[in-house]
Amino acid sequence: MRTVKVDIAERSYQIVIDQHLLMNVGEQVQAFLKKGNKVALLVSKTVKKLYSDRVVRSLITSGYEVDMFLVPSGEENKNLTTVSKLYDELIENSYDRSCAIIALGGGIVGDVSGFVSSSLFRGLPFIQLPTTLLSQVDSSVGGKVGVNHSQGKNLIGAFYQPKVVLIDPTVLKTLEIRELICGYGEILKYGFIRDASFLQTCLDNKNSIISLKDMELISEIIRRSVEIKAEMVSEDEQEAGFRMLLNFGHTIGHAIEKSCGYGKFLHGEAVILGMCAALKISMEKLGLDSVKGKSAIDSLCKIKLGHDLSTLDIDKAMIALMHDKKIRDGKLNFVLLKDIGSPVIVNDITPEMVRETLLWLKERYKNGAGS
Ligand SMILES: NC(=O)c1ccc[n+]([C@@H]2O[C@H](COP(=O)([O-])OP(=O)(O)OC[C@H]3O[C@@H](n4cnc5c(N)ncnc54)[C@H](O)[C@@H]3O)[C@@H](O)[C@H]2O)c1
């Protein structure tokens, strides 16, 4: 068993990583919820079929009353309509402040469930059981919860920390390869911004990670990823500065995701494209060593994505970028690298430079994986 602490005063919590942990999840939950309390398990259809039985059994054995509620899959359903439907269902089922919400699923289930937990009855205890690689290394940690607005991703939300994050890496075995690649993208992000040697390990072991060949290695990579995230969240819970570095690759990534239509590029795929763009701008603007920069771009470009970029509408992407949450005082905040592991926030990148970079990216990815 591996544990990492997110250290934020009375909101501190543990992230527990252990193979087959879901079988005994009830025991882990006992430290946070009184026996006999009602628990709402929020889950996607796919994860319900695969993993809800073992979780429900374990929770009931540990003395909880469990109801299950479905969260529809897909970025297009991560919205206030879904949240409102969940409020209705929980209220109709007599949920109150003595109850808790457990999210079992990927980042969408986690973000939606967390937002419902933060707002229903002014806050219910919330536990994360992330089941995708991306949610295990990133979205379940740090307390950013929320939903999309038609004008942009994650525009509605809160900072609301879970009581605990319980990670069972064995559930990754049923994930589609494309989803594993998304998680791999976020793992590389941690290396780029914080740990060059971790980045190298992850690049050297790409095939082993994506094929889940070595569960010990995967568990350790998850641990190091959440350790980096926990450090950054512990220092800057509400993203006043330091935590913003976690947005490396996300500014252009979000713009691509939104302008291409949610669902075309998955979040992690868009982040991989965004990191390529940020590395290019880092070389031009900050003098990131071109050998290191180009080699990193080549490694990212070799990662197979679900789509090519031939239909990217650059005007639409620029509009999406201007609606990004990362605009402060009318300026675009970009996370760039002075060196691998040395990020900085830069706010004077011109729209022309972004446009040129998008054209370059579109050309590189016109046939799928970047050439
Ligand atoms: N809150 C944060 O800090 C944060 C950080 C990064 C990303 N996000 C958000 O996370 C979301 C993406 O999350 P995601 O990549 O986990 O995608 P997702 O939640 O859409 O899950 C992907 C798909 O995999 C299925 N699935 C989940 N676990 C499975 C398993 N073990 N086996 C088989 N299928 C499984 C799901 O049902 C879903 O269809 C985005 O909305 C993004 O904005 C949030």
Assess whether 144 carries a catalytic annotation: yes
pLDDT for res 28: 93
Q: Tell which residue, 219, 343, 222, 328, has the closest CA to residue 275.
A: 343
pLDDT for res 367: 67
Q: Which amino acid is at 145?
A: V
pLDDT for res 323: 74
The full DSSP string for 150-195 is TTEEEEEEEE---SEEEE-GGGGGGS-HHHHHHHHHHHHHHHHHH-
CA distance 340 to 361: 20
- Radius of gyration for the chain, computed over Cα atoms and rounded to the nearest angstrom: 20
CA distance 188 to 184: 6
Residue nearest to atom 14 of ligand 1 (CA): 107
Domains and CATH numbers, the chain: 2-174 (3.40.50.1970), 248-371 (1.20.1090.10)
For the chain, list residues with pLDDT below 70.
Answer: 324-331, 367-371
pLDDT for res 258: 86
pLDDT for res 368: 64
Give the CA distances from residue 117 to residues 16, 73, 269, in Å, rounded to whole numbers and listed in that order.
21, 18, 28
pLDDT for res 329: 65
pLDDT for res 320: 87
pLDDT for res 326: 61
pLDDT for res 327: 64
pLDDT for res 199: 98
Residue nearest to atom 9 of ligand 1 (CA): 107
CA distance 370 to 157: 34
Give the CA distances from residue 43 to residues 61, 162, 273, in Å, rounded to whole numbers and listed in that order.
20, 16, 29
Assess whether 243 carries a catalytic annotation: yes
pLDDT in tens, 196-238: 999 999 999 999 999 999 999 999 999 999 999 999 999 999 9
pLDDT for res 280: 97
pLDDT for res 152: 78
Choose the residue to mutate in 46, 117, 187, 233 for probing ligand 1, maximizing ligand atoms within 8 Å of C-beta: 46
| Helix and strand counts by DSSP (H, E) for the chain | 15, 13
Tokens of 279: 């590395």
Of 254, 258, 280, 362, the active-site residue reads 254
- Return the SS3 of 224: helix
Residue nearest to atom 33 of ligand 1 (CA): 175
Choose the residue to mutate in 19, 44, 225 for probing ligand 1, maximizing ligand atoms within 8 Å of C-beta: 44
